[in-house]
Structure 1
Amino acid sequence: MSGHSLVDWLRAQDEQALVELLRARPDLATPPPPNTGVLATRAGMRASVVRACEDLDAFTRTVLDALVVAGADTAPQPLTRINRLLGKGVPAARTKAAVQRLRELAVAWGPDTALSVVPAGTEVTPQFPGNLGRPAPQLDELDLPELLDGLDPAERRLLETLAAGPPIGRTKDAGRAVPLERAENPVQSLMARGLLLRRDNETVELPRQLGLLLRGDRPMGQVQVTQPELTVTGREVSTVDATAAGAALELLRHVEGLIALWSAEPPGVLRSGGLGVRDLRRLAKELDVEEARAALLAELALDASIIDNSGGSEPEWVPTTHADSYLAAAADQQWATLAVGWLELPRLPALAGRRDERDKLLNPLSNELRRPNAVRERHRVLGVLAELPPGSCVGDVEQLVAALAWRAPARGGRLRDDLVRWIIDEATALGIVALGGLSTAGATLLNEGPGEAAKRMSDSLPEPIDHVLVQADLTVVAPGRLEPELAADIALVADVESAGGATVYRLTDRTVRRALDAGRSAAELHELFAKRSRTPVPQSLSYLIDDIARKHGQLRGGPAGSFLRCDDPALIAEVLANPDIARLELRRIAPTVLVSPLALIDVLDGLRESGYAPAAEGPDGAVVDLRPAGHRIPGRPQGTKRLFSPARPSVEQLASVVRQIRAGDRAADAPRGAAVSTAALGTAATMALLQEAADTGRSVWVGFVDSNGTASQQIVTPVRVAGGVLEAFDAVVGLVRRFPLHRITSTAVVED
């Protein structure tokens, strides 16, 4: 390659430029390169170049394509040629800035008059850079404009179609090369003239020279210089936050429903791991949500250690002890736990229900949903919304898809565009995004973490209300978020019939009996509705409570195995005579007392199935609630969630690496005398040379292996040799350094 090499160019850069290079491409600094030659070799490796170009925007990648089309990977090219390739309408300043970005990454180097690209740059560009075919050297000697003028319209149209891209076409005539005079169609005629190239028996290719010529003043085609515009609608921040708060409350209600459902009936763990299709559908049905939403809820619960795999021979997905502390927390804290968990979740819940490359179904909670780049992609997508002023909303997610595709077309692979849609959908479900814009809590989560975000969400949540509206049809309407104590009381005495901005509960015989079983008295239920209802309590509800209470608790049971007692001997006799409950093995031990060897809960359930309304009592005679609390397993220890931040070496660390590189260059360039090899001649000869240099004040060239096994060469001035250590002044860092003698591999005196 003519002109300066990448090594020469890197050597000519100042320390700050090399530090910035290592910041942009940290893989080049690990392990620290011993000199610029090694740095240049690493910078040109295919895998490193591909990583370096991952975040290039579409325009900068087009500039790289133009450099490759111009042949800058084999010979230096002037910037003026790149400008001509990009065509009219592309500002020269934008092209210059893009070239500078490629220089900063050491993907390109050299002055504007002689730009070069690392050979691996061709691995980053597509198979047909700029949608242009490969060059045909034989065409360089021909007058192509004259040849094009001599074509008939059909032949010209065919070439123009291929020039627009892609430059290949399939045809059965590709394998039928005939002389020009025997050509029967445009393909055969153009192949005979050498204006189409045969790739295989079914494919032809338009040579690059013709593609550039046919495109006229846009040789690289239509170039998108700037990011596609986002159509932004300004909304009141309060409106966005209120919408986000509504979504957050709905999310919390669904997670609470999942805990309750899996406490009672934990689903099994698939043999291959994950949650089965049937169990996912059941969860979605019980919560009245779509399966994608159910999968997201399960993934959030697992990440927060609210549920976990119980293990054992028949593992189940069971709520953990953390579920109880989660349920006891305030709504804003619950939201923050789930929101930061999702933001830092190294998995893609939206993949659940889809199939992988081998057509295998991907199940929620399975290892197959793990994607290490998921966290970075969430931050990248939400980062676009974070750049907009508060209250700015992007109504069309496809505009975000297009904007992010321009910003980093190489990101995300085949799922690139779907990832954006999934992330926005999930962020909206969590209340991080609302109406197409970041909520205040969402923006705070990105910038300041979950603690401050919880405070912002608390500000957005509606104030809990202290009342309900009881209707004549035995429904109870909660016109907003209820106070925790009131919510618990209503949930005990009624079932949710519908949820939303207002929650509707249904009162039935069974729900009232459930409240009485839990220890509530009829008087307490009357008082609850009398004090808490803003509407008059309908007479039908009062009759319902009194009717159920009249029958409730006449029979009393306690552990004996278990016992039943009743002040009415006739009712005791009726129970004993009932053939339907003979399986309970009841026997009379007193006129008003029966006992059974069965557990009390089984006895009470059997009596209820037969139409009785018994109640459980404790040692003090008070009614107790025997409903099972649900399955629980110990939860995993939970650490503090930290927001994603790419691990990067500090500027000071990188500056130290650069100084080592410079020291290696200086050592490699310095004229030196005969080297003393420690391995060949022993430590004594090395010590003698170093001691002589210390006595005469001469500099020495030192080959050294550090504690990581990395070999390097440095020039230092020995000060003292003692105790198995060389103390020497390093002019590069301006300090006296210590070198263990057993790590010095060779030394030589630097000649003047």
Structure 2
Amino acid sequence: MPPLAEWLRERSDDDLVALLRARPDLATPPPSDTSVLATRAGVRSSVARACEDLDSFALSTLEALVLLDADREPVDSAAVAGMLGASITPQRVRRTVRELRALVLVWGEDDALNLVPAVREALPTFPGGLGRPADDLDDPAAALAGLDEEERELVGKLARGAPVGRTKDAANRVPLERAANPVQRLLAKGLLLRRDAETVELPRQLALAVRGDEPMTGVVAEEPVPELTEPGQDAVDATAAGAALELLRHLESLLHAWSDDPPDVLRSGGIGVRELRRTAKALEVEEQVLALLVELAVAANLIANSEESDPRWVPTYQSDTWSASMPEQQWAVLAQAWIDLPRLPGLIGARDEKDRLIGPLSEELRRPTAGRERRRVLSYLDELPTGHGAAPDDVLAVLSWRAPRRGGRARDVAVRSTLSEATVLGVVAHGALTTAGRVLLADGPTGAARQLASALPEPLDHVLVQADLTVVAPGRLEPDLAAEMKLVADVESAGSATVYRVSEASVRRALDAGYGAEDLHALFRTRSRTPIPQSLTYLLDDVARRHGKLRAGTAAAFLRCDDPVVLAEVLGNPATAELQLRQIAPTVLISPLPLSDLVEALRGAGFAPVAEGPDGSVLDLRAAGPRVRGKARATAPPARTGPPEEQLGELVAHLRSGDRARGVRRGSAVVPEHGRPSAEATLQLLRDAARERRDVWLGFVDSNGTRSQHVVRPVSVGGGVLQGLDTGRDELGHFPLHRIMSVALVED
């Protein structure tokens, strides 16, 4: 049995459970015994996955073990500490070795550490920034002392950075006396190794001589400590609540805008840059924020591709339900969609491999691991003391140290964009995680919505009417009041306080929706904390007096008015000539145009008609906009998982049973027929073993097709099932006879 398998066999059950938990790929499918487990633990792909979550110092420790050839001969942990540098203590190394040992990347005791060979393949080509050793460089210190200034400068440059360099001087070998530059002289002295015609490499011995008591570069033993800010949790939650309300306001505006004028879906998917800029200008929002809103709306199933012959991005039926929900519920839907979003909106505006701009909703943004990386950033902020925040650079430094192999530009973009997007969403404020954000990570959107509700300012039941026909909402309004204000006035500016403007058009809009003049007077009289100016009273009365004098119906459409003079004015107006109006009574005109077109054209001519239903009631002709059925929201794939926690102990027992079965001596066996043992012979052998109280060895296949080996002491055989004591697990087992693939007596 290989030494690693023997070492694993000596581990405790708790150690093996911890291993299978930390490296779940080793448990799928369940290994039949410890030898199989040891083989899997040394597979390169599995080792590479295990290294993904190692911190910077753990990876440096593995590199030191590689440099010491621990995959060929055992090494002492003190030698590892010496390779890592004079500032690294043996205690620090031993602590990290314990972590690596738990992952079975390293095995053996501290004075005889062995490295799994596949680790060498999973690490960089130049561990510790050191090249290959030269075969005949026995005294590097003397060689270094004999260099001139130019040669020493070149050697120092290669020793401090990557050990390889590109130069045309490597193409030909020249004798030392003909060498014209430092590269040629070092090659002639054997102090540079020629890799190919344009590449040279500094020998490891010479680099170590230059570095002295710091043999490896880039060794950082401890996690960087960020410079924390302390805005206070109350300030964080209050600021985030304001950001959340602003986000919801912008998204409602987006839904209304795209309901009236849905943008086209590009042939390659996504939305055009011109459409995005046009919408951003109309909504008065930054393009990057709007791009995030679009991604969130589609992820939350509020906007979807209509998938027609001329596809457009259209609000869904679910968006109406969302719009009618409370603000905290609206926010929770968006926040959860963002947490799970398998895309990276932070790349919007960058260029792809073909130098094309990456737009919202494009396939180039798809990143299956984006959700996991988003949670990593937020989880780090969750570790900080309550009410404390950190700058993006500090967060990036910490996460880079914790998992260097999850690196590169994608990680930098993911960290910075996560913090930026979380701030827009109100999950983060002042660089700190909000209370609602903490609940969102731990408990999900329902609890987070309740938490945000407690942080939102109490909704106001009043407004402040100004003399210039503006209405100021000094904070968040009650839903009913907010809906009425949107109907009777237009938003002029928004923020912590919203300013509305009442105009003739907005008053007419309210009257069209069924409000009467007295209703509007009562609205402002009961809801305003300031006196109602005369200008507003005159405006309401004037618009209401003219409103509805003309009554439009379907004939295709008709106009009726109790005052024949008004109808004569309509007929005589040049702007109404295209309406094809015809008088059929002193107080009635008819038109072949649809009712909505007739009303709109008359308003454009300066009149103020209303639409009338069959019963004489006022009709609201405002279009609700198209709607489509959304699709199921795309979520990030689940993180790599193994068997459930409660099954890990069972797997270890399975391993122990397999080890015992492999170690026994087998005697007489049933000869297989057509790949499996004879049923009669199997029954007879098992019955004899039960009568004589002898152990049998079983080759068994469970219902999942997993093969295993067991040593069993039969108790009874009947009903197609063998019942016996599984000696590897020390428990009674039930083995269907049709799943027994081989059987033999165990010799003492």
**Could you tell me the TM-score, scaled by structure 1's length?**
0.95
1:4–1:110 CA contact under 8 A, matched in 2: no
Report the equivalent of 2:398: 403
1:348–1:370 CA contact under 8 A, matched in 2: yes
2:141–2:206 CA contact under 8 A, matched in 1: no
What are the superposed Cα offsets for residues 465-522 of structure 1, whole Å, 9 maximum, x if unpaired?
2222333333322221112222112211222222111112233332222222222233
Q: Structure 1 stretch 698-707 or stretch 379-388: which is displaced more?
A: 698-707
Gaps of 5+ in 1: none
From 307, 313, 316, the counterpart of 1:317 = 313
- Find the aligned partners of 1:745 and 1:679 in 2 and give their Cα distance: 10
1:700–1:717 CA contact under 8 A, matched in 2: yes
Task: Map residues 443-462 of structure 1 onto 2, 5 A cutoff.
Answer: 443-462=438-457
1:449–1:643 CA contact under 8 A, matched in 2: no
SS at match of 1:89: coil
What are the superposed Cα offsets for residues 528-565 of structure 1, whole Å, 9 maximum, x if unpaired?
33333333433333333333333322211122322111
Q: Structure 1 stretch 732-741 or stretch 423-432: which is displaced more?
A: 732-741
Q: Which amino acid aligns with 1:675?
A: A
CA-CA distance at 1:642 after TM superposition: 12
SS at match of 1:392: coil
SS at match of 1:602: helix
Report the equivalent of 2:23: 25
Q: Which amino acid aligns with 1:733?
A: R
SS at match of 2:136: helix
Report the equivalent of 1:608: 603
Q: Which amino acid aligns with 1:703?
A: G
Q: Measured at CA, do residues 665 and 644 of structure 1 come closer, stay the same or move farther in structure 2, by a change above 3 Å?
A: closer
Q: Does 1:539 align with 2:537?
A: no
Q: Measured at CA, do residues 97 and 718 of structure 1 come closer, stay the same or move farther in structure 2, by a change above 3 Å?
A: same
Task: Map residues 158-557 of structure 1 onto 2, 5 A cutoff.
Answer: 158-359=154-355, 361-394=357-390, 396-411=391-406, 413-557=408-552
SS at match of 2:457: coil
- Find the aligned partners of 2:652 and 2:101 in 1 and give their Cα distance: 17
CA-CA distance at 1:222 after TM superposition: 4.5
- Find the aligned partners of 2:198 and 2:408 in 1 and give their Cα distance: 29
SS at match of 2:422: helix
From 649, 669, 672, the counterpart of 2:643 = 649
* Identity value in percent: 57
2:44–2:118 CA contact under 8 A, matched in 1: yes
Q: Does 1:668 align with 2:662?
A: yes
Q: Which amino acid aligns with 2:75?
A: Q
Q: Which amino acid aligns with 1:447?
A: A
Q: Which amino acid aligns with 1:343?
A: I
Task: Map residues 561-572 of structure 1 onto 2, 5 A cutoff.
Answer: 561-572=556-567
CA-CA distance at 1:571 after TM superposition: 1.6
2:193–2:200 CA contact under 8 A, matched in 1: yes
Report the equivalent of 1:103: 101
Q: Does 1:44 align with 2:42?
A: yes
Report the equivalent of 1:732: 728
CA-CA distance at 1:359 after TM superposition: 4.4
- Find the aligned partners of 1:648 and 1:7 in 2 and give their Cα distance: 21
Q: Does 1:700 align with 2:700?
A: no
Q: Measured at CA, do residues 4 and 704 of structure 1 come closer, stay the same or move farther in structure 2, by a change above 3 Å?
A: closer
Q: Structure 1 stretch 434-443 or stretch 294-303: which is displaced more?
A: 294-303
- Find the aligned partners of 1:84 and 1:412 in 2 and give their Cα distance: 27
Q: Measured at CA, do residues 4 and 427 of structure 1 come closer, stay the same or move farther in structure 2, by a change above 3 Å?
A: same
Q: Structure 1 stretch 148-157 or stretch 345-354: which is displaced more?
A: 345-354
CA-CA distance at 1:458 after TM superposition: 0.9
Q: Which amino acid aligns with 1:6?
A: L
CA-CA distance at 1:670 after TM superposition: 0.9
- Find the aligned partners of 1:642 and 1:373 in 2 and give their Cα distance: 7
Q: Which amino acid aligns with 1:470?
A: V
Report the equivalent of 1:138: 136
- Find the aligned partners of 2:489 and 2:524 in 1 and give their Cα distance: 12
Q: Which amino acid aligns with 1:450?
A: P
- Find the aligned partners of 2:141 and 2:351 in 1 and give their Cα distance: 52
Structure 1 stretches of at least 4 aligned residues deviating more than 4 Å after TM superposition: 358-361, 635-639, 641-648
CA-CA distance at 1:644 after TM superposition: 7.7
- Find the aligned partners of 2:403 and 2:274 in 1 and give their Cα distance: 39
Q: Does 1:634 align with 2:629?
A: yes
1:375–1:644 CA contact under 8 A, matched in 2: no
Q: Structure 1 stretch 498-507 or stretch 563-572: which is displaced more?
A: 498-507
Q: Measured at CA, do residues 358 and 119 of structure 1 come closer, stay the same or move farther in structure 2, by a change above 3 Å?
A: farther
Report the equivalent of 1:94: 92
What are the superposed Cα offsets for residues 173-219 of structure 1, whole Å, 9 maximum, x if unpaired?
11131112222221111111111011222221101121122110000
1:678–1:685 CA contact under 8 A, matched in 2: no
CA-CA distance at 1:361 after TM superposition: 4.5
Report the equivalent of 1:677: 671
Q: Measured at CA, do residues 147 and 4 of structure 1 come closer, stay the same or move farther in structure 2, by a change above 3 Å?
A: farther
Report the equivalent of 1:9: 7
1:344–1:644 CA contact under 8 A, matched in 2: no
CA-CA distance at 1:232 after TM superposition: 1.0
SS at match of 1:75: coil
- Find the aligned partners of 1:679 and 1:703 in 2 and give their Cα distance: 15
2:696–2:712 CA contact under 8 A, matched in 1: yes
CA-CA distance at 1:440 after TM superposition: 1.2
Alpha-carbon RMSD? 2.2
- Find the aligned partners of 1:86 and 1:635 in 2 and give their Cα distance: 56
Report the equivalent of 1:658: 652
**Could you tell me the TM-score, scaled by structure 2's length?**
0.95
CA-CA distance at 1:638 after TM superposition: 8.2
Report the equivalent of 2:78: 80
Gaps of 5+ in 2: none
